[in-house]
Structure 1
């Protein structure tokens, strides 16, 4: 009998190709990934995740946020990344914030999970 460890909960298996790049534990890592991608790569990720976001949220709402299994934590991180990428895809139409020059900000506190 073989055991397969999934990166995400089984019903979200088709999103596993995005885990390596986008299931990042910190906002800064997610933002750095956004800046390293082309607009087309961001749009592909967003278009894959966004239609499943509501279902993912419902799934995660059924779990204890303080005791998420690893696969559910990665799913939550994908949602965080989707939110960060949504601005680039839907508003800026590019990875960077337009007309911001070298401006940046540091996050002082990360979300609990």
Structure 2
């Protein structure tokens, strides 16, 4: 991973900087735990902030080498992963947990390869 000047996100996505601390998490386990720690209003606010920029962010990331992302781009990628993880609760479930699933959860032994 290449180092950058310390910007949280690439400049054109800096409007999302305030979401980095909570949502730019390296693993699915961390992202899922964050999702469960938030209420639906908090999830919706995050979703609504990222949604208008999601396609442009994907297009931007597609121009980079996934194996050598700068730190700011890695944070953006992790933010998009969190965005995807909260899309079902926001758009379908209307709650952080999957309805009628009790405490069911699958733990990953390793993160999927990119």
- Report TM bin, short chain: over 0.9
- Gaps (5+ residues) in structure 1? none
Secondary structure of the residue that 1:103 maps to in structure 2?
coil
Offset at residue 70 of structure 1 (A): 0.2
d(CA) in 2 for partners of 1:102, 1:43: 23
Unaligned runs of 5+ in 2: none
Counterparts of residues 58-73 of structure 1 (less than 5 Å) = 58-73=59-74
**Distance (Å, rounded) in 2 between the aligned partners of 1:12 and 1:91:** 27
Give the CA RMSD over aligned residues: 1.1
Question: Could you tell me the TM-score, scaled by structure 1's length?
Answer: 0.93
CA distance in 1, matches of 2:82, 2:58: 14
Aligned partners of 2:53, 2:27: CA distance in 1, in Å?
A: 22
Answer yes or no: is 1:79 the counterpart of 2:75. no
CA distance in 1, matches of 2:19, 2:80: 11
Structure 1 segments of 4 or more deviating over 6 A? none
Aligned to 2:6: 5
Count of residue pairs brought into register by the alignment: 110
Q: Distance in 1 between matches of 2:75 and 2:113?
A: 14
